[in-house]
Amino acid sequence: MRRDFRETVTVAADLALVGIAVTVCSLPVLTAGAAVHAGSVAVRDIIDGSAVRPSALWRVFRRSLLPGALATAAVLALGWLLMFNLGAVASGRVPGGLPVLLGTGAVAAALLAACAFGVVHLARHHSWPGALRWAAGTVWRQPLTAAMVAGVSSIAAVIGALIPVTLPLLVGYLLFAVHVVVARRLAHDPVWSW
């Protein structure tokens, strides 16, 4: 089925609005987890072709504030630790050279993919512990999917670094891309349930 040009523009505009809303709601930093959860639910609704209801997204955001804050703090701590390790190895302060640098980079990519898988799973199941357990297991069962998610995220990060004004828009498009990659790659996985 071919999409009408107007429908494509509408979806692109909706994704841009989702990205802007997630970015604005993430400004207090600890609300980022709740904002991404609500944004992921909105992207799921856009993909499904159903109406995005702001009242439902507000309920998701409110319910996710505490678990989202804990998840955000954990991701920030792990991210900072990985960046510190990458910097120490790259500068030569820690022995190991290229093999340790590549290993640390692989762990960082796996963490990024696990976060993305968790966000996609949250859009359907709304359980933070269940989504995190599922995401951690899926990264190791689906390494190609994890690499694809890390690649898509890296492309978005490079575009955002080169053109910072696009960052809020990229958030919505990245959520969409991750949803599409995970859904297509895991459609035949018996553990994956839409």
Going by C-beta distance under 8 Å and a sequence separation of 6 or more, which residues neighbour residue 34? 25, 60, 61, 62, 64, 65, 68, 69
Tell me the residue length of the chain.
194
Where along the chain do its domains lie? 5-185
In tens digits, the chain (194 residues) has pLDDT values of: 566 777 888 888 999 999 999 999 999 889 999 999 999 999 999 988 888 899 999 999 999 999 989 989 988 898 888 888 888 887 877 777 778 888 888 888 888 888 888 888 888 876 788 888 888 888 888 888 888 888 898 899 899 999 999 999 999 999 999 999 888 877 766 555 54
Taking CA atoms, 158 is separated from 93, 126, 167, in Å, by 27, 30, 10
